[in-house]
């Protein structure tokens, strides 16, 4: 994954004293329902066929209860959601000036549905805004908010990439909000490490947001004619394919944990540099397009992605064939 890959976990049972997962039927899980979030169900291999929907309903109820448990954290989350909504409206207003009404309406509907879905998912996982020892943070942390913005606004980056040529008259108005979205991957992790604001929410949301942003971003640049088709295919295959494989394994009850790996980090850094540079070239600095240094950057990033794909396939095949305990 972007900055994090899937790794088989040895045991799908209880996890220490962190309160992340309780064994079925154990303390804190009346009626045999595991008290954890939806993503934790997947990581721990608790989405086995037969009891999957019951476990997911229990996770949703648990997520809603935990989200309401700390009022200050709930309000901070709402503040970040409103900030992300303001950025979304800003970009859509600028798009409206240059895009046909029917196209703009369709893109607004997609962006709105995506925004609401990601905000709801983030809210259901507020229980993960906790320290490594399991104690909860009293607020929704700054790096978590930055990550959520990146995830919630991902479709807008793709739409701006498709319409980059017609957006050039408003380049300065639209480019900088998009730069914030695409460059935020370099911000959230550094802020979390420097200020000691690490959380389980960030550990899980950061790689997913990177994957989903790249899965939107690369096709947008590809469709706009700014990214070589073979490079765009490799990036989409790497990110979307990995996401599909992880969800498939989780759906089969295979325990799979999201952890960082060096091949994933290298590919992630390459993609995080290449795609924003191409967006800047498409909207603001078109004279960069076709230059030798940009072509070589695409090739180097493609090589990093290929190495990561091979590594991921090995890891995922190992997880698929492993016997769930």
Q: Are strands 256-259 and 5-8 parallel, antiparallel or unpaired?
A: antiparallel
Copy the structure tokens of residue 294.
């940009």
Sequence length of the chain is 325
- The owner of tokens 């990550």 is 147
pLDDT by residue (tens digit) across 48-63? Answer: 777 778 888 888 998 9
pLDDT at 257: 66
Q: Which of 89, 74, 43 is nearest to 246 (CA)?
A: 43
pLDDT by residue (tens digit) across 70-119? Answer: 999 999 999 999 999 999 999 999 999 999 999 999 999 999 999 999 99
DSSP letters along 43-55, please?
HTT---TTTHHHH
Burial class (CB in 10 A: 0-12, 13-18, 19+), 90: middle
Range with lowest mean pLDDT among 13-17, 70-74, 111-115, 139-143: 13-17
Q: Which of 265, 13, 219, 20 is nearest to 129 (CA)?
A: 20
Copy the structure tokens of residue 257.
């944990």
- Does the structure show a pLDDT above 80 at 23? no
Cβ distance 157 to 182 under 8 Å? yes
pLDDT at 312: 79
Average pLDDT over residues 186-212: 88
pLDDT at 322: 66
- The owner of tokens 């420097």 is 194
pLDDT at 244: 82
Q: Which of 33, 36, 42 is nearest to 18 (CA)?
A: 36
pTM above 0.75, yes or no: yes
Q: Which of 230, 216, 220 is nearest to 282 (CA)?
A: 220
- Does the structure show a pLDDT above 70 at 311? yes
Task: Give the separation between CA 134 and CA 148, rounded to whole angstroms.
Answer: 21
Bridge partners for 6 per DSSP: 258
Q: Which of 183, 276, 179 is nearest to 227 (CA)?
A: 276
């Amino acid at each position: 994954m972007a900055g994090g890959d899937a790794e088989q976990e040895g045991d799908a049972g209880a996890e220490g004293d962190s309160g992340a997962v309780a064994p079925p039927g154990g303390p804190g899980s009346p009626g045999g329902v595991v008290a954890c979030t939806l993503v934790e169900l997947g990581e721990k291999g608790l989405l086995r066929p037969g009891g999957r929907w019951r476990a997911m309903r229990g996770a949703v109820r648990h997520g809603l209860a935990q989200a309401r448990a700390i009022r200050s954290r709930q309000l901070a989350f709402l503040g970040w959601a409103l900030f992300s909504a303001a950025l979304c409206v800003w970009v859509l207003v600028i798009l409206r000036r240059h895009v046909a009404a029917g196209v703009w309406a369709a893109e607004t509907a997609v962006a709105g549905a995506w925004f609401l879905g990601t905000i709801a998912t983030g809210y259901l996982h507020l229980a993960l805004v906790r320290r490594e020892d399991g104690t909860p943070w009293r607020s929704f942390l700054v790096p978590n908010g930055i990550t959520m913005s990146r995830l919630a606004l991902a479709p807008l980056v793709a739409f701006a990439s498709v319409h980059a040529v017609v957006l050039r008259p408003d380049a300065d108005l639209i480019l900088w909000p998009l730069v914030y979205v695409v460059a935020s991957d370099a911000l959230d992790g550094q802020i979390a490490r420097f200020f000691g604001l690490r959380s389980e929410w960030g550990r899980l949301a950061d790689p997913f947001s990177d994957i989903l942003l790249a899965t939107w971003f690369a096709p947008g640049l590809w469709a706009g004619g700014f990214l070589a088709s073979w490079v765009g295919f490799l990036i989409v295959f790497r990110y979307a394919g990995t996401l599909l494989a992880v969800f498939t394994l989780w759906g089969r009850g295979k325990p799979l944990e999201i952890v960082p790996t060096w091949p994933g980090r290298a590919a992630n850094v390459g993609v995080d540099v290449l795609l924003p540079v191409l967006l800047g070239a498409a909207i603001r600095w078109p004279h960069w397009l076709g230059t030798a240094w940009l072509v070589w950057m695409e090739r180097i990033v493609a090589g990093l992605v290929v190495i990561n794909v091979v590594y991921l396939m090995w890891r995922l095949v190992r997880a698929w064939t492993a016997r769930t305990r």
